Structure 1
Amino acid sequence: MSTANDARIIRLACIDSAALPLFDKSPDGATRAGYEPEAAALVASRLPGGAAEIEWVMLPWEDMIPAVRRGDADAVWCGQGMTEERAALVDFTRPYAVFNETLIVRADDPARSPEQLAGYRIGAIANSTNMKLAETFPGVELVSFGASDDVFSDMIEATRSGEVDGFVDDDVVMIPLGQEDPDFVEAFTVPTGNRWGIGVAPGADALREEIDTALAAVIADGSLEEVWKKWMPLLAFPL
């Protein structure tokens, strides 16, 4: 957290990727649209220590948590399921979203259950809740993604080209993909109920508590639910 020209600034790490309704690729490297950026702006405006402006720190997926740990960003607000592995690296706030997980395959693929995936090459983001789910599929070959700035698009194109047979990600971005792109279909969704939180550096208790207080306020007054309904009207607000 810093100040510039008397304005309070919070630096939030995220990838720059087209993954609506969560977020879209930034047109200018600074402004962003989608549920996560709008929820972040809402919370930043309600911080007890004073409203803050957001400076987005755009990074490859695998670099976000290291950036927070070394102080190059104040927090990571970018699809962070609160796994034990991540909780050992950052301190999480209360959740601002809860999602299930979906497998997407090509439209002509008949697989509709994990038991039909033996021999498939299945992609997911490295060290993610999605990869943990993929690890439970019997007989599959796992393919890790995450080294680029646009990992979601990478997984889409890898599936489209046949480099992988399908990939796992959260239902919020996968169900629209299966419905809107004729090349893909939703194979199945697993009700994992993954909680997403904002990760701050270990020991940054003051910032974590501020974010938690602001989150509690926007959940209680319904304003976060309104942002949710704007971007994800077909999904029930889970908090």
Structure 2
Amino acid sequence: MKFVALRGKAAALLVIGAIALSACTKVSTPAESPAATTSSTLQAVLQRGTLRVGDCLTFAPFGFYDKDGQPDGYDVDLAKELAKQMGVKLEVVNTTSANRIPNLQTSKVDVVFCNFTRNLERAKVIEFTSPYVVASEALLVKKSSGIQSVKDMTNRTIATVKGSTNGDEVRSLNMQVKIQEYDSSQAAILAVKQGQADAMIEDNNFLAYQAKLDPELTVTNEALVPLEYNAFGVKAGDQAWLNYLNLFLFNINASKVNAQLYKKWFGVDPRFPLNPQF
């Protein structure tokens, strides 16, 4: 009997200890979980009813203003498709290469579609989706210039756009060339047309479109850098929004909608695969 009494006392002490421990240990409820307290851009867009897409509207055919002053282009069509599938209105925010990241960080836009090349330096401060378009780079020159490739650019001037990676790529060639930066792609193209620059370096698909518009221009037949994988840019730390956009891209690639839009604007099928085999 004495042994039984001790067992009962020990049990009582264990119960008291458990109650005390539970009083000191806070257990998260569903409403207090990190997922519930973290505000996602996805939920903000759905509640607002408007998707704000940062797009470079001086970068035809990716983005530009049509004759009625409305945003148009390949990236704009993709943004329209995203807004449609989300069931919200679309607001296109004109963006430059230089303010793509600041606009994301200050929440002026929800996502950036703007010929955004993924690289490790940018990935330190923002996040990227899976790629949606792939390109290499070449030079846009006047046909009368005699320039056939970058090898002909010694002691000449190459136009680049502020905030882009193109200036670094030119420097990596270790050539005696002058780099002149411009605020927009259209300004850099105009510099070539007016003789202020001998060439402009940019994505080959963008340059092909520009040469199509002006018979006095041509694009060098070369790939100056390894393939560039362009993606949507999003604010860092928003995994729910990133997951949603990646699923959107998977769906429009699987359904061939992305390939159809590419052909609509560039006149050819996409040249490079989005998911290369290593």
Shared fold by TM > 0.5? yes
Q: Aligned partners of 1:13, 1:161: CA distance in 2, in Å?
A: 30
Does the residue aligned with 1:230 lie in a helix, a strand or coil?
helix
1:132 is aligned to 2:168: yes
Deviation of 1:91 (Å): 0.3
Q: Which has the higher contact order (CA 8 A, sep 6+)?
A: 1
Q: Is the 8 A contact 2:259 2:270 kept in 1?
A: no
Does the residue aligned with 1:92 lie in a helix, a strand or coil?
strand
1:172 is aligned to 2:180: no
Q: Is the 8 A contact 2:191 2:197 kept in 1?
A: yes
Deviation of 1:18 (Å): 5.2
Let me know the Cα RMSD of the aligned residues: 2.2
Q: Is the 8 A contact 1:111 1:117 kept in 2?
A: yes
Relative distance call for 1:116 and 1:18 in structure 2 (3 A) is: closer
Relative distance call for 1:89 and 1:71 in structure 2 (3 A) is: same
The one of 107, 114, 136 equivalent to 1:71 is 107
Q: Aligned partners of 1:161, 1:196: CA distance in 2, in Å?
A: 30
Deviation of 1:202 (Å): 0.9
Q: Identity, % of aligned pairs?
A: 22
1:25 is aligned to 2:65: yes
Aligned to 1:40: 79
Q: Aligned partners of 1:18, 1:40: CA distance in 2, in Å?
A: 15
1:220 is aligned to 2:257: no
Deviation of 1:3 (Å): 5.4
Q: Aligned partners of 1:144, 1:101: CA distance in 2, in Å?
A: 17
Q: What letter is aligned with 2:252?
A: V
Matched positions, count: 229
Aligned to 1:94: 130
Deviation of 1:27 (Å): 5.4
Deviations along 1:138-162, whole A, 9 cap, x unmatched?
Answer: 111111223xxxx121011111122
Instruction: Report the TM-score, using the length of structure 2 for normalisation.
Output: 0.74
Aligned to 2:31: none
Q: Is the 8 A contact 1:99 1:171 kept in 2?
A: yes
Q: Which moved more, 1:166-175 or 1:56-65?
A: 56-65
Q: Aligned partners of 2:254, 2:111: CA distance in 1, in Å?
A: 23
Greater Rg over alpha carbons, structure: 2
Which structure carries more helix by proportion? 2
Once the two structures are superposed, the pairs formed by residues 46-61 of structure 1 within 5 Å of their partners are: 46=85, 50-61=86-97
Deviation of 1:53 (Å): 2.5
Unpaired runs of 5+ residues, structure 1, are none
Relative distance call for 1:183 and 1:232 in structure 2 (3 A) is: closer
